[in-house]
Amino acid sequence: MSPRAQAASGAPGGGPGSNGLEQLLAAKEIAVFCGSGGVGKTSVAAASALGAVSRLGGKVLVLTIDPARRLATALGLDGVGNLARRVPADLLKAAGVDDRGELYAAMLDTKQSWDELVMRHAPDEETAYRILENRLYANLTARFVQSHDYIAMERLYELHQSGEYDLIIVDTPPTRNAADFLEAPKRMADFFGGRLLRWLTLPYRVGGRRGSRVLNVASRPFYQVADRVLGSQFLEDIAEFFLNFQSMYDGFSARAKAVERLLHDRRTTFAVVTTLEAAPLHEAENFCERLDAGRFHLGALVLNRTLPDSLLSPEGDRAASRFSDDAPAVAAQLARLVGSEHASLNDEVRTARVLRTVGESFHNFSLVAKREAELRAELTRRPEVVARVPSFDDEITDLTGLMRVGRALFGDEP
């Protein structure tokens, strides 16, 4: 049995502390990582991909949206557009990744993806270019934030269709609402199939190709107001754009529906990433609810950058109190015990100051750790896999760091 099949069949693949993430990824073809901004989603997605390659082998692709520069460099993504690039095998080897599979990385270029989509679905080249050159189109693709939502899912669909990868891991775009992209394909399909679009473009469709209006239609209240508010040229631009865009309707809406089906497919799972802070956690819980309500598969919850449990230990608390409350006495005893070998510890005033600082710092961080533990206890929705990744001393900026994240993520370390 291949490692992939073995893990999927439930045979023990990971270490003793394995938390089921490995089995989950082995059984799926797509894993979508989502969560609110600033929770370390990109690193967690990349670490999962690296872990999957190392543990399961096969061809794994991580599709990332906006990685930090050093992480992009680590994945070999410098200046890469839409193309998937293979992460060099020697880099993986150097980071201690088992030589089982191939890791690919791709970044999302929104503008390029839209252009490709238009070229594919336009009825002819002329229409395609008319759309690409429309000033509203430039606006739509370059400045319209939400277009990220749809295009990321569209791109995912295409990569999955290519059949080249055993597993695709997706880092979702930062949206105002972490769950917006779930509905993006449906919104897109509704939009192009909508009555509103037909209604709004009516005077132009009746009046012929470019804007010669039929007065009795254009004199309806809506057009009057729209003209007065926006100026007629503007409305004409919109109409022309959408008339052209509508020519792509069939291809486009079929595609949006296919994308939606893929997100609901049993081969797709979702992983929600959050830190144990009130706001991101609240958003994560909302997101879990949306996934459940929309009948998506919620496979994992990743608690990222948590403080170590040692901050909660009563013994630590006692020692810290001793440090901060009894600093001079502790300093004096320490000098007596080890002062002869460690000259710096003979400065009892300084030692006492350091002890106090260390003790206070422990109490400070312990307070935060308690808050985290409370929030963790209040979690209402616990999917099959709940992974916890600690706050590391150093930032994760290279493959070795991602492997460290991976060990915690896959539950190798208790």
Closest contact distance (angstroms) between CB of 118 and another protein is: 15
* Token code pair at residue 346: 């003979």
The CB-based long-range contact list for 240-243 (8 Å cut-off, 24+ gap) reads 240/134, 240/204, 240/210, 240/211, 241/131, 241/134, 241/136, 241/137, 242/197, 242/200, 242/201, 243/201, 243/204, 243/205
In this complex, which beta carbon is closest to another protein, that of residue 47 or of residue 84? 47
CA distance 279 to 285: 10
Closest contact distance (angstroms) between CB of 280 and another protein is: 6
Closest contact distance (angstroms) between CB of 128 and another protein is: 19
In this complex, which beta carbon is closest to another protein, that of residue 52 or of residue 108? 108
Going by C-alpha positions, the residue among 194, 237, 232, 234 that lies closest to residue 215 is: 232
Distances (CA, A) of 66 to 42, 63, 107, 110, 111: 8, 10, 7, 11, 14
Closest contact distance (angstroms) between CB of 375 and another protein is: 11
In this complex, which beta carbon is closest to another protein, that of residue 237 or of residue 412? 237
Going by C-alpha positions, the residue among 125, 108, 115 that lies closest to residue 63 is: 108
Quick count: other Cβ atoms within 10 Å of Cβ 228?
9
In this complex, which beta carbon is closest to another protein, that of residue 75 or of residue 311? 311
* Token code pair at residue 227: 């003209």
Contact 285, 279 (CB under 8 A): no
* Token code pair at residue 15: 């270490």
Closest contact distance (angstroms) between CB of 313 and another protein is: 5
In this complex, which beta carbon is closest to another protein, that of residue 54 or of residue 113? 113
In this complex, which beta carbon is closest to another protein, that of residue 44 or of residue 167? 44
Terminal Cα-to-Cα distance of the chain (whole angstroms)? 28
Please name the amino acid found at residue 9.
S
In this complex, which beta carbon is closest to another protein, that of residue 37 or of residue 81? 37
Closest contact distance (angstroms) between CB of 215 and another protein is: 17
Rg (the chain; Cα; Å): 28
In this complex, which beta carbon is closest to another protein, that of residue 314 or of residue 414? 314
Q: Which residues contact 347 (CB under 8 A, 6 or more apart)?
A: none
Closest contact distance (angstroms) between CB of 319 and another protein is: 3
φ and ψ of 202, to 5 deg: -50, -55
Closest contact distance (angstroms) between CB of 371 and another protein is: 5
* Token code pair at residue 298: 């919620």
